[in-house]
Chains A and B, each alone.
Chain A
Amino acid sequence: MTTLQTKPVAARAELALGPVSRTRRRRRPRWGMWIALVVIGLFAFLPLYWLAVTSITPNDEAFSYPPKLFPTHVTFDHYLKILQTPAIFQYFRNSVIVSVITSVLSVAVSMYMGYAFSKFRFRGRKSLMYFVLSSQMFPQALLLVTLYVVFAQFNLLNTYVSLILSFTTFTLPLCVWMLKGFFDALPDDLIEAAKIDGAGPWRTFHSVILPLAAPGLVASGLFAFVRGWNDFMFALTLAGPEKQTLPPGLVNMFITESSTSWPALMAASLLVSVPVSVAFIALQRFLVGGVTAGAVKG
Chain B
Amino acid sequence: MTTTDLRPGKHSPRQAADADGSAGTRGTRLGNKSFVFLLLLPGLVLLLAVVLYPLVRSLITAFFKESLVYPGSSFVGFSNIIDVLTDDFGQLLGQTLIFTVGSTVLSFLLGIGLALVLNQRFHGQRFLRGAFLIPWLVPGVVVSFLWMWIFDANYGVLNGILQQLHVIDHPVAWLFNTDAARTALIIAKSWSSFPWMMVMLLAGLQTVPTDLHEAAAMDGAGSIRRFFAVTWPHIRGVAGLVILLEFIWNFQHFDTIFVLTGGGPAGTTQTFATQVYDTAFKGYDLGHAGALGLLWMVLLMVLVVVYVTFSERGERKDKAR
Contacts and interface: CB of A to CB of B under 8 A. Distances in A.
Interface of A: 3, 23-24, 30, 32-33, 36-37, 40-41, 43-45, 47-48, 50-51, 54, 62-67, 69, 108-110, 112-113, 115-116, 119-128, 130-135, 137-150, 165-166, 168-170, 172, 176, 187-188, 195, 198, 200-202, 226, 229-230, 232-233, 237, 246-248, 250-251, 254-255, 260, 262, 265-266, 269, 272-273, 276-277, 280-281, 284, 288, 291-292, 295-298
Nearest to B23: A195
A64 B13 CA distance: 72
Contacts, number: 315
Interface stretch (B86-94, B143-151, B176-184): B143-151
B153 to A, nearest CB: 10
A102 B53 CA distance: 21
Interface in B54-86: 54-55, 57-58, 61, 68
Given A36-B117, A296-B203, A200 B30 contact: yes
B9 A188 contact: yes
B33 A122 contact: yes
Given A110-B43, A137-B300, A272-B139, A36 B114 contact: yes
Interface in B130-179: 130-135, 137-142, 145-150, 152, 154-157, 159-161, 163-164, 171
A224 B13 CA distance: 33
Contact of A233 (B5, B57, B163, B258): B258
A246 B150 CA distance: 22
A134 B142 contact: no
B145 A269 contact: yes
Contacts of A138: 51, 55, 297, 300
A138 to B, nearest CB: 6
Main secondary structure of the interface of B (DSSP, over half): helix
Contact of B51 (A122, A169, A280, A291): A169
Contacts of B248: 137
Of A54, A64, A124, chain B has the most CB atoms within 10 Å of the CB of A54
Contacts of B308: 130, 133-134
A200 B36 CA distance: 13
A141 B152 CA distance: 28
B191 to A, nearest CB: 7
Given A40-B113, A142-B276, A32 B30 contact: no
Contacts of A284: 130, 133
Contact of B50 (A41, A169, A230): A169
B314 A298 contact: yes
B3 A298 contact: no
8 contacts: A36-B116, A41-B128, A63-B155, A113-B43, A120-B16, A120-B32, A147-B54, A292-B203
A112 B304 contact: no
Nearest to B294: A142
Given A120-B32, A145-B280, A292 B200 contact: yes
Given A66-B160, A284-B133, A201 B145 contact: no
Contacts of A260: 148
Top 10 nearest A-B pairs by Cβ distance?
A298-B311, A126-B1, A146-B54, A142-B293, A169-B50, A66-B160, A116-B39, A113-B43, A230-B139, A146-B58
B29 A201 contact: yes
Of B51, B55, B152, B276, chain A has the most CB atoms within 10 Å of the CB of B51
Nearest to A130: B308
Given A44-B135, A128-B40, A273-B142, 14 more contacts: A24-B214, A50-B149, A50-B150, A69-B157, A69-B161, A121-B3, A121-B13, A140-B252, A141-B277, A141-B293, A142-B55, A200-B30, A232-B141, A250-B145
B40 A112 contact: yes
A266 B314 contact: no
B149 A54 contact: yes
A48 B29 contact: no
B12 A121 contact: yes
A137 B117 contact: no
Contact of B58 (A112, A126, A127, A145): A145
B57 A146 contact: yes
B199 A273 contact: no
A97 B304 CA distance: 34
Contact of B141 (A33, A54, A65, A250): A250
A89 to B, nearest CB: 18
B35 to A, nearest CB: 5
B113 A36 contact: yes
A109 B277 contact: no
Nearest to A127: B1
Contacts of A127: 1
A95 to B, nearest CB: 10
A47 B46 contact: no
B127 to A, nearest CB: 10
B293 A139 contact: yes
B46 A292 contact: no
A192 B142 CA distance: 49
Of B12, B147, B245, chain A has the most CB atoms within 10 Å of the CB of B245
A67 B156 contact: yes
A109 B46 CA distance: 9
Nearest to B119: A33
Given A36-B114, A47-B191, A139-B296, A269 B286 contact: no
